[in-house]
A and B are shown apart, each in its own frame.
Chain A
Amino acid sequence: MLEIKNLHAEVEGKSILKGINLTINKGEVHAIMGPNGSGKSTLANVLAGRDDYEVTEGSIFFDGKDISELEPEERAGEGIFLAFQYPVEIPGVTNTTFLKEALNAQRKYRGEEELDGMEFVKMLRGKTKELGIKDDMLKRAVNVGFSGGEKKRNDILQMAVLNPKLAVLDETDSGLDIDALRIVADGVNKLRSENNAILVITHYQRLLNYIVPDQVHVLAHGEIRRSGGKELALELEEKGYADYSGEAA
């Protein structure tokens, strides 16, 4: 599904990613772990197509298509979803309006028919029920006045509505207490299926107790230094990132 080859990227002229290779298949959950400044968030933003992140070398194939030149909205339409480390507040725009516009924009991109108000609300009600989210959250402006936990749950709701093929969770555990973490992880697990894939980006192992990965990769200095099964996360928890602190030989 996702095939990243020799990916180099820079931000404001500074080289951050220095040759990433990563393949994620349908139905898999991968975790990328690494110390601060290793390039984890850069990778997430590059995948989503943020303007200030420039790919200088290498390729990103998604479902067989090179997406490295696509706009963020086109990538969303292709089925890539980024759950933000810090979801943005959008005053004046209600959650419902936003979700409807976003979903229909994606459907339009894929040449599918847009949903009318009734169909949309029915689908939305189903999703909120499934995730145990109260309806009043839908009437509120996107993330405005939401607690850290509510913002992350709102991202999960967006993910449920947009139903992406690949969800990238960028440090979604930051700022969450253990209860909120569990709720968010439950939401993600409900959306796991054999047809989609999830890339979890995190500094800490604890999120991976709840969202259990098939593979774990260690990112340091802009490269994947090591890959392994879920036990690698436990090892990192114990030993820290000290082994990966030096520049590559």
Chain B
Amino acid sequence: MMTSANDQDLFIAHFDQAKNHLPGADIDWLANLRNNGLSLFKKVGLPSAKTELWKFTSLNPLRKQQFLAPVTKAEKSLSVTDLPRLLDETKSHRLVFVDGFYSEELSDKGLPKGVRLQSFAAALQSEPAVANKLQQNLKPRDLAQEQPLVALNTALMTDGFIIEIAKDISLDKAIEILHFGSGTPQSSYHNRNVITVGAGSKATILEQVADRESHVYFSNSVTDVTLSENATLHHYRIQESNASAFHVSSVQADVGNGSSYDSFILNTGGRMARSDINVNLVAPNSSCHINGAYMLKDDQHCDITTRVDHKTPHTSCDEVIKGILAGKSRGVFQGKIIVHEQAQKTVGNQSHRAMLLSDTAEVDVKPELEIFADDVICSHGCTSGQIDEDALFYLRSRGLSREQAQSLLVNAFLADAVEALQNEDLKDLFLTRIASWLGQNPQ
């Protein structure tokens, strides 16, 4: 294994190459923020097996790559017909990012009432008031040694989406965001996204990660979410990039009084995909759902790491994650629930269930409950197992082929997680994705 000094060199060199053309180079607070991020990253380096939060997810395949430094704009031009789309124009307003950069021409025109959208780069280049407001919405992450990739993102953040939803707005269309890899090999980018939802508002943000062809690239995104009072955000993500891509993402959501952060992640793509989801329930009656499903094959690796902090009384969280693993794939789930001392009447439930379709697939789980209050209801459960042979025989004895029977059982296993989705179109869409994955992967 290479030493950690070597690990860092590539990305430190990226910073040196990019620093003069990164957006907002003349903004002092930003320069400080970037420098802080960089010095922390220099100190800690890429996470290794010794980093507690990364002990099941090795970045060695990523270390072997020679990624190129972030550029200032997407190099390839695409037409809208090259792009996949989840929901049609009547149901979503779509924004497009190509190789990490916002593309105004590929995005839908106009914006739903009550929504402000800017690209991260544009926000930094507009008047100081806008840039300074952004400063407030970038969360002061605890850039401790567990989060070196967030630190790296802070040093190199280039573009991303800034979505602001005014108060008392109920969006009838989803905001769909496509993150598209155009096929530029060895590209790397660090998106910084900000979502703020005003008091009493409701919105659905749907992110899709996809690409045109098989190529190696590295995307390291950070998303800061703030929900004001009585707001609801449905944040659904589908990661279906090619099997050579590396994706690391970190979402931090602060959920206000009476608000709900409802998240779902469907992961089928990538060589390696790590999703950190951190939710702070900072005010009474705030709640979150962290649901998801992943389907892996060959040597794919998917890691979902969650942390929910119950910081005040009367908060609740519910997590249901399901995984299907074929081939030599590996799934990781780490889920931490922390109930702080003052957080009485907390309800927290967490479950992760995995089904292994081969003898060579592996799943590692680490559920953790840290409870400092005494009047709480918390549960967690993790199971992993093979497909149920009795059920398989039962179905086959009624005439279904082995493949049909397996597909029916796997579908049923995952559908349970998808059923929780509140949006019928997306429920259908995700169920279709599951069925087509099963169709392409006879177990």
Contact = CB atoms under 8 A, between A and B. Distances in A.
B215 interface: no
Given A88-B390, A90-B391, A76 B412 contact: no
B140 interface: no
Contacts of B415: 92
Contacts of B399: 73, 76-77, 102-103, 105-106, 109, 162
B401 interface: yes
B393 interface: yes
Interface in B141-200: none
B397 A82 contact: yes
Contacts of A105: 398-401, 404
A89 B411 CA distance: 15
A33 B388 CA distance: 30
Interface string A1-20: 00000000000000000000
A76 B391 contact: no
A92 B411 contact: yes
Contacts of A81: 397-398
A51 interface: yes
B342 to A, nearest CB: 39
Contacts of A162: 398-399
Nearest to A108: B399
Given A92-B415, A105-B401, A76 B396 contact: yes
A52 to B, nearest CB: 8
Interface in A90-118: 90-93, 98, 101-103, 105-106, 109
A59 interface: no
A102 B393 contact: no
Contact of A72 (B396, B404, B408, B413): B396
Nearest to A97: B408
Contacts of A87: 394
A51 B389 CA distance: 10
B434 to A, nearest CB: 11
B412 A51 contact: no
A88 B398 CA distance: 12
Query: How many residues of A sit at the interface, in one of the four size bands?
Result: 20 to 34
A225 interface: no
A5 B20 CA distance: 86
Nearest to B411: A92
B293 to A, nearest CB: 13
B400 A90 contact: no
B408 A101 contact: yes
A92 B397 contact: no
Interface string B404-421: 100011011101100000
B402 interface: yes
A92 B413 CA distance: 7
A84 B391 CA distance: 11
A89 B391 CA distance: 7
Given A90-B391, A91-B416, A71 B408 contact: no
B416 A71 contact: no
B408 A73 contact: no
Nearest to B408: A93
Interface string A58-77: 00000000000001110111
B395 interface: yes
Contact of A76 (B398, B402, B413): B398
Most chain A CB within 10 A, of B388, B393, B416, is at: B393
Interface of A: 48-51, 71-73, 75-77, 81-82, 84, 87-93, 98, 101-103, 105-106, 109, 141, 158, 162
Given A88-B390, A92-B412, A105-B400, 20 more contacts: A51-B389, A71-B401, A72-B397, A73-B396, A73-B399, A73-B400, A73-B401, A73-B402, A76-B397, A87-B394, A88-B394, A90-B409, A91-B413, A92-B416, A93-B408, A98-B395, A102-B399, A105-B399, A106-B398, A106-B399
26 contacts: A48-B397, A50-B393, A71-B402, A72-B393, A73-B399, A73-B400, A73-B402, A77-B399, A87-B394, A88-B388, A88-B390, A88-B391, A90-B409, A91-B412, A91-B416, A93-B412, A98-B395, A102-B398, A102-B399, A102-B400, A103-B399, A105-B398, A105-B399, A105-B400, A106-B399, A158-B398
